[in-house]
Amino acid sequence: MNRVLIAGAHGGVGKHVTDLLGDGEGTARSMVRDESQVDEMESLGGEPVVADLTEDVTHAVEGCDAVVFAAGSGGDDVYGVDRDGAIDLIDAAVEAGVDRFVMLSSMGADDPESGPEPLRDYLIAKAEADEYLRSSGLTETIVRPGELTNEPGTGEIRANDALESGDGDIPREDVARTLVAAIDFEPVYGETFEILSGEDAIEDALQSVGSR
39 lines the binding site for ligand NAP (CB under 6 A): no
- Residue 100 three-state SS: strand
Q: Between 181 and 211, name the residue whose CB sits nearer to ligand NAP.
A: 181
- How far, in Å, CA of 195 to CA of 211, rounded? 16
Candidate list 22, 46, 48, 72; residue touching ligand NAP; CB under 6 A: 72
122 counts as catalytic: yes
22 lines the binding site for ligand NAP (CB under 6 A): no
40 lines the binding site for ligand NAP (CB under 6 A): no
206 and 50 in contact (C-beta within 8 Å)? Answer: no
Residue nearest to ligand NAP (CB): 72
Q: Between 53 and 181, name the residue whose CB sits nearer to ligand NAP.
A: 53
Q: Between 65 and 82, name the residue whose CB sits nearer to ligand NAP.
A: 82
Give min distance, CB of 211 to ligand NAP, in A.
25
205 lines the binding site for ligand NAP (CB under 6 A): no
67 lines the binding site for ligand NAP (CB under 6 A): no
Give min distance, CB of 73 to ligand NAP, in A.
5
58 lines the binding site for ligand NAP (CB under 6 A): no
- Which residues, other chains included, contact 73 with Cβ-Cβ below 8 Å and sequence gap of 6+? 80, 81, 82, 85, 122
β-strand partners of 32: 50
Site mask for ligand NAP (CB under 6 A), range 93-112, x = bound: -----------x-x------
Residue 19: what are its φ and ψ, rounded to 5°?
-60, -45
Closest CA to 104 of 175, 36, 184, 24: 175
Site mask for ligand NAP (CB under 6 A), range 117-156, x = bound: ----------------------------x-xx--------
Return the beta strands (E) in 81-163 as ranges.
100-104, 139-145, 147-149, 156-160
- How far, in Å, CA of 167 to CA of 197, rounded? 10
In the chain the first and final C-alpha atoms are separated, in Å, by 25
Angle in degrees, CA 1, 171, 187, rounded to 5: 40
Written as one letter, the residue type at 91 is: D
Residues with catalytic roles? 122
Residues near ligand NAP, by CB under 6 A: 8, 10-14, 33-34, 52-54, 70-74, 81-82, 85, 104, 106, 145, 147-148, 172
